[in-house]
Chains A and B, each alone.
Chain A
Amino acid sequence: MSEEDQDFSDRGSDFFSDETIRLFLLGRLRADERARFEERLLLDDEMERRVRRVEYELADDYAFGRLTMDERGPFTQNFLVTEERQQKLAVSQVLRKELSQQPGSTNVAQTRIMSRLRGTSGLFGFGRVGRPALSFALAFVALLIFGGLVWLVMKSPRSKTQPAVTRRQPVPTGTREYAHAPSLTPETTGTPTPVPQTTETSGEPDLSPLIATFVLPKAQRAGGETIRITIPPGANDIVRLELSLESAEAATYRAELFTAEGQSITVGPEVRVSSSNLQAKVVLDVPARLLKVGDYQIKLSRTAGGSVQDVGRYYFRALEKQ
């Protein structure tokens, strides 16, 4: 049996589980158990391999915020006391920032590329390893590409009255209808759609927020692909989530946005839907600044006849703009 296939869950009284190893690393073993464990560790190569593996997992758990409050203290006091373990934690933290899709982690690759374009750290670090000519050449190419993108944006008819590097459009004025017939704007599930501009501009630089609209279907019991939305970059931008109602009943609807962990982000206004509206939708506007990369859910409820009923859930994954 290969090492990978070995099951370490139940091997008799002389065996130490991975949980025990974890307790050892956190300094939380009982004295009698600790003595046996230490002896085994000194004698057994396989034990050392397992301890090293749990070290990685412990560092990952800390970096990914998975340790309990009880564990965090012992982690810093008993675990993080060697340079090797500190280096492991440093790599775990980098892995979290680079690979994790949890809320709070940023698109590090994009951030680093942008900082390089601003010249803060040298493009791809080549300047640091003694290749300044290559660094400048790559920076020049990146500048050309960036300039080309800006030129394309400038050419676009929608942006003629707006600053070159933005695609911001004025917020539609007037009262919004939250439950309405299918919008006239082109909609595809999971893609952002700037709202058509209908108001006049004064010719001054337009700093109005962008509204990115996404249509969310109701969650299916049998699973299905998670809708992905792109968070617009502006602090004042809006993510407009249109919740499809499979069958509208005359009621007052309300949508509330939660993180995957159940933390409430925002609650939409109450929306009155009439039974004659066969293609009703409930719209929830969320300030982009409230969204971070990660999974979210919307709970839709309705009030009818004095009682509140759960209508359904809508799930999506927020991603940063590439």
Chain B
Amino acid sequence: MGECHNWHPVVAGAINQFSMPRSKRSYSLQQEDFDRLLVWLDEDRERAAVAYEKVRWRLTAIFASRGCRVPEELADETIDRVSRRVADIRETYVGDRVLYFLGVANNVHHEYLKRPPLSGSQPANDVREREEQMHQCLDMCLNNLTEKSQHLIRQYYAEDKQAKIDLRRRLADELGLSLNTLRVRALRIREELQGCIQRCLASRKL
């Protein structure tokens, strides 16, 4: 397949994710199965990788909603099984290919329900240090925003409970926006902050 750094970042990310050792895997998926899966999702390699990421994220959300404690693992298991089946179904399958994943996910879920319940606690982290780093990263990321975005996000998160509603209505009026538009913009900035903070934290671990 070539070195990962030659690929588009999304493709490389999908391949890296697929290639990462997963302790619960009972079957080592062949590279050709994975390639076949990508082609089945889309003949264009980059679009296929994007589709792969979307399917994985959505399956994870579905398993989490169903109360599964290891949704990412189950999503990967689902994708692995579909990958192994693609060779058999690609000529005859009719319909939206993404929905095939849902059928397999249902089977994976049923098997999961038969497993003994998971136990054990999360390992303890250095919470205080991490929190301190997060604050520093948040400060930096807030400063990276435009002045307008900073003002919006600071006001948006300034209040809670009932006061929040009044404040956001006033903020929307001040900015000449509908409440929904304010919400969407604030959540976009929130998403931007999330990514910035995570990159900042990752850079501090290096």
Instruction: Give the interface of A toward B (CB within 8 A).
Output: 3-8, 24-27, 29, 34, 38-39, 41-43, 45, 48, 51-53, 56-57, 60, 64-66, 77-79, 81-83, 85, 87-88, 90-91, 94-102, 108-109, 112, 121, 124-125, 128-129, 260-261, 295
Contacts and interface: CB of A to CB of B under 8 A. Distances in A.
Contacts of A5: 178, 180-181
B194 A87 contact: yes
Contact of A101 (B130, B139, B158): B158
Nearest to A2: B181
Contacts of A43: 96, 98-99
B194 A7 contact: no
Contacts of A64: 160-161, 164
Given A4-B181, A41-B58, A81-B64, A66 B161 contact: yes
Please classify the interface of chain B as helix (H, G, I), strand (E, B), loop, or mixed, using the class held by over half of its residues.
Answer: helix
Contacts of B8: none
Please classify the interface of chain A as helix (H, G, I), strand (E, B), loop, or mixed, using the class held by over half of its residues.
Answer: helix
Q: Which of B98, B132, B160 has the most CB of A within 10 A?
A: B160
B98 to A, nearest CB: 5
22 contacts: A4-B177, A4-B184, A24-B61, A27-B65, A42-B99, A43-B96, A65-B161, A78-B65, A90-B134, A94-B135, A94-B197, A95-B138, A95-B157, A97-B135, A98-B138, A99-B153, A100-B158, A101-B158, A102-B160, A121-B132, A129-B204, A295-B163
Interface residues of B, number: 55
A282 to B, nearest CB: 26
A260 B193 CA distance: 30
Contacts of B71: 81-82
A27 B181 contact: no
Contacts of B132: 112, 121, 125
Q: Which of A4, A34, A295 has the most CB of B within 10 A?
A: A4
B171 interface: no
B66 A27 contact: yes
Interface string B170-185: 0000000110110011
B190 interface: yes
A90 B198 CA distance: 10
